[in-house]
Chain A
Amino acid sequence: MNRFLIPLGIFVVVLVFLGIGLTLNPRELPSPLVGKPAPSFSLPQLHEKEKVLSSNDLKGKVWLLNFWASWCGGCKEEHPVLIHLAKSGEVPIYGMDYKDRREEALAWLREWGNPYPLVAVDESGRVGIDYGVYGVPETYVIDKAGVIRYKQIGPLREDVLQTKILPLVRELQNQ
């Protein structure tokens, strides 16, 4: 009896570990930036390139920062969710056009709709590096004091928005 019990026990332990490993997503890395001040930026805007969008202008309100690009497949996937959120007017989503071509980005927004009040252009990807971006789309929740409170890696889904982001946003807005 004992002879079978020990190998069975080991097997079950290995199985549990493998099971946990399979359900984890290796793309989702914990960001060290959550809880830290959002890196400041000052970049030309997408629609009017002479104008600048600076993170300092956004202090005092809760906002989302969404890294996207016209070449990015996941961005199209999350786009209806962003449009829907923008229409609700609950929280402004500022866009960061990441390593993209201006004309293509503008055409993309014309075709699929523009959920952003303003879009900054990060052509070199430097601001992306400051924010620890490694795969667009990525979305950050930034509070009134300019601190990153949440980071979404990959496309924003309606259920994540409803269960995580919007409750957090409401809580931060009431602070």
Chain B
Amino acid sequence: MKLWLYLVSILLISGHAMAAYEASPLAENPQVEARLKALAVELRCLVCQNQTLADSNAPLAEDLRREVREMIVKNMSDKEIIDFLVSRYGDFVLYRPPLKTTTTLLWVGPFLLVIGGATALVLVLRKRQKKLAAVALTEAEHNRVAQLLSEGANRP
């Protein structure tokens, strides 16, 4: 009898625990879920900073998904929803940082590096070419080159 009670209570507890870990029910409306999904991959979870809102299981990410879902149901545009989040959490909430004065280096930096690298490469190559051309041959060396080349040409 005791064992029986024990088993039942384990079942009840585990059932309860499983319910707690289950993902929140996918909304009744698949269109809302699709929009939420599209938005959530563009937004950063602020707790686990290298995950999107879509990936994260942090409680804050769940709350923010709930918030975004409600705004979608209220028929707010993507821009309005993103503005809502940016006004609270700043640009960091966006996975794609906007082009601003403070982020210019971020956006332009890679191109500057490529241009700098390419310029350095061209300069080095030109310098090397100049060095090669600068070596002049004496009369004797010319004759020796001609001789060696003709010898090579006579061989089968």
Contacts and interface: CB of A to CB of B under 8 A. Distances in A.
A134 B46 contact: yes
Interface residues on A, range: 10 to 19
Nearest to A125: B63
Contacts of B67: 126, 129
A130 B89 CA distance: 9
Contact of B59 (A29, A30, A33, A99): A99
B87 interface: yes
Chief secondary structure at chain B's binding surface: helix
13 contacts: A29-B46, A29-B90, A30-B90, A32-B86, A32-B90, A33-B88, A126-B67, A129-B63, A129-B67, A129-B88, A132-B88, A132-B89, A135-B46
A125 B89 CA distance: 14
A129 B90 contact: no
Contacts of A29: 46, 89-90, 92
Contacts of B46: 29, 134-135
B145 interface: no
B64 interface: yes
Nearest to A124: B63
Interface string B70-109: 0000000000000000111110100000000000000000
Contacts of B60: 125, 134
Interface residues on B, range: 10 to 19
B9 interface: no
A73 B147 CA distance: 88
B49 interface: yes
A65 to B, nearest CB: 15
Given A26-B49, A29-B46, A135-B47, A129 B64 contact: yes
Interface string A43-76: 0000000000000000000000000000000000
A31 to B, nearest CB: 7
Most interface-central of A31, A32, A33 (chain B CB within 10 A): A32
A70 to B, nearest CB: 15
A126 B112 CA distance: 43
A122 B90 CA distance: 22
A33 B88 CA distance: 6
Contacts of B49: 26
Q: Which 10 A-B pairs have the closest CB atoms?
A: A134-B46, A132-B88, A32-B90, A125-B63, A132-B89, A29-B92, A134-B60, A29-B90, A129-B67, A134-B47
